[in-house]
A and B are shown apart, each in its own frame.
Chain A
Amino acid sequence: MKIRYSVNNLINGMRTRLELIRLGVKYAWFNDTAYPLDGITNLITTITYSLVGLGLFNILYRHFHTIGSYSENDMRFFLLVSHAAYFLNSLTYYNMLDLDQYINEGGLDTILTKPIPSLFFIVHRRISLFTMLRDGLPAVIVNSLFVNFNLIHFTFGNLLSGVVVLVMGLFILQTFHFLAIISATWTGRSRQASGLAYAVDQAISGKIPYDVMNRNMRLFLITILPVMVTGPVATSIFLGKGNSAHLISILSITFVIAILLRHLAWTSALRRYSSASS
């Protein structure tokens, strides 16, 4: 009886979350199209960023044949995966940034009094597929035009493992940013903390391949400071450079810890939340 109740609860919870994702996509479309001219600059920025990255690799590889076992083509593929991971992460990142404001201005009040999983709702409130496609797709296409896929030896196992790592990595990275942002409940404001987390993420995640690092640094950057778990680790597995079973085991532990930390931080933040005065 109790098991059936728990299973029903689990199914209902999943249904609610799927419905919230559907609504997040639907209402993000309304939001995105509410300001149709906004975002053109984002498009220019992302394409410029890709071209600058590709140019830099071109200059570097005039002097080196490989860097940490990465050829220029591997490096271009790394840039492509990192870019895709960045845009996937940005689907929910900006929703989390709103948390700082919600906590300070009491906007959380109107969410916490609704019968929905509040954190899930906040994180998936707007899933801006339109913005992601508008800003990200052209840059990813530009990147992919420079990759010679014939030179990369893909296997089904590596592709599957890479996708699993990418999905787990997105959640772990999201939790890393979430912990920085939710600190606002204790400190009053978390713009500096979230800015620092973003800067560290951007400085490492899309710029340095995983296999270039030494062993301790690798472990550190996929557990304690998990900014390498999306682009760098996924690329390493896609390219068949890393030991995918070993990496998936470590990331699974990090993934479970991330779930627990996120839950603990949110529960504790809600207990501490005093709600802005009227």
Chain B
Amino acid sequence: MKNKPVIKVSHLTKVFKTKRKHGFFKDILRPDYVLTKAVDDLSFDVFTGESVAFLGPNGAGKTTTTKMLSGLIYPSAGTVNVLGFMPFDKKREFLSQIGLVMGNKSGLNWDLTTRQSYELYQRIYKIDPVVFQKKVNEMTTLLHTKDLMDIPIRKLSLGERMKQELIASFLHSPKVLFLDEPTIGLDITSKHLIRKFLRDIQSKYNVTLLLTSHDMDDVETVCDRVIVIDKGKKVYDDTLSNLSNTYKDKRYVNFVFRELPPMEYISSILEQYDASIITSQDEAYLVAVSNTDMAGVITAMTSEYNIVDIDIEKVPLEKMIEDIFVAG
């Protein structure tokens, strides 16, 4: 997959200057500004056809980075190169090769129907009518939106509108697509459908995806690589499979008891193994256990108290990312 980088980010920094409020007259006579480093010396490359998740807690600098990559805001320092262009120059050749979908902002005109919106995009991006029709058919079939073509955007539900936003963003066959929380606020069915759509289209058209999301299911389904940033700095950058591999010797076991044993009792058992309590909720303990100690822990836990259910699962991605934050 790795051929040439389509996105090259080197020592990227963005500082925002915001006014601290001290009262009307003080603000005028002696304004007090705070400098906030939203992105701090960030460097990474993204290669053609890669699907990269850009993760981090709120305020980590993910969206600011995405906006610098798409040319919306100007960097304070460092360089950005996307498809051979400096994004902020906003060259037509650059803009016609990228797409941006924001889960909380609509790029479609609310009073137009879906069909009219697509036709507007066809004109703006000068898409060949035959290719346009083929793409609309293909994507509306994939996202089950064929029946929504003549309904004004304002009358669509959030999930239906997001599907139209995604289709519109793919119509001009972008080489790089930036997705900022595309499944935010959607129901589980819509989320599933959108993730599958993104994966299918991404692999079919070899689009480079940069996804920002707090939903780890989005990341697991759509992405191959994870870049984690915290306080504007990169704290992790590797493939999703490598990240999972570091946790391959560990499992989460959920013990559901008929009557919840005291915490001290559970802790005294786990002390003897490579295991620890993650959470305790209702009648259950969620325990992290190494594969080698699995049998021993299960035997010890079930010896004194009645167990209703045991559920063994892989360490969730959320926990892996949380560990990265703690370590970083």
Contact = CB atoms under 8 A, between A and B. Distances in A.
Contacts of A31: 109, 111-112
B69 to A, nearest CB: 11
B72 A109 contact: yes
A115 B105 contact: no
B140 to A, nearest CB: 20
Interface in A197-223: none
Contact of A107 (B67, B105, B116, B125): B105
B142 interface: no
B67 A109 contact: yes
A41 interface: no
Interface in B1-56: 16
B16 A274 contact: yes
B167 to A, nearest CB: 15
Interface in B222-273: none
Interface in B80-116: 90, 92-93, 95-96, 98-100, 102-107, 109, 111-113, 116
B70 interface: yes
B74 interface: yes
B44 to A, nearest CB: 20
Interface in B153-182: 180-181
A180 to B, nearest CB: 21
A274 B123 contact: no
A106 interface: yes
Given A34-B152, A110-B100, A275 B112 contact: no
A27 interface: yes
A275 B113 CA distance: 27
B106 A23 contact: no
B124 interface: yes
A277 interface: yes
Contact of A112 (B90, B93, B116): B90
A70 B92 CA distance: 52
Contacts of B72: 109, 112-113, 273, 275
A44 interface: no
B120 interface: yes
A273 B93 CA distance: 22
B112 A30 contact: yes
Given A23-B123, A274-B16, A109 B100 contact: yes
A19 to B, nearest CB: 6
Contact of B102 (A110, A112, A273): A110
Contacts of B124: 114-116
Most buried by B among A19, A23, A30, A114: A114
A34 B152 CA distance: 9
Contact of B112 (A27, A112, A113): A27
B100 A23 contact: no
A30 B114 CA distance: 12
B63 interface: yes
Interface in A119-169: none
A115 B125 contact: yes
Contacts of A2: none
A273 B124 CA distance: 23
Given A110-B100, A275-B73, A30 B106 contact: no
A273 B112 CA distance: 28
Contact of A113 (B70, B113, B181): B70
Contacts of B112: 27, 30-31
B102 A115 contact: no
B109 A112 contact: no
A112 B125 contact: no
Contacts of B95: 113-115
Contacts of A107: 105
A278 B98 contact: no
B105 A274 contact: no
A62 interface: no
A187 to B, nearest CB: 11
A275 B109 CA distance: 19
B92 A278 contact: no
Given A110-B102, A275-B67, A30 B73 contact: no
B105 A110 contact: yes
Given A115-B95, A275-B72, A19 B111 contact: no
A109 B105 contact: yes
The 4 closest A-B pairs by CB, nearest first: A110-B107, A115-B95, A115-B96, A115-B92
Given A30-B116, A275-B72, 15 more contacts: A27-B109, A27-B116, A30-B111, A31-B109, A34-B152, A106-B102, A109-B72, A110-B102, A110-B105, A112-B72, A113-B98, A114-B124, A115-B93, A115-B95, A115-B124
9 contacts: A23-B123, A31-B111, A34-B111, A110-B100, A115-B93, A115-B95, A115-B96, A273-B73, A278-B104
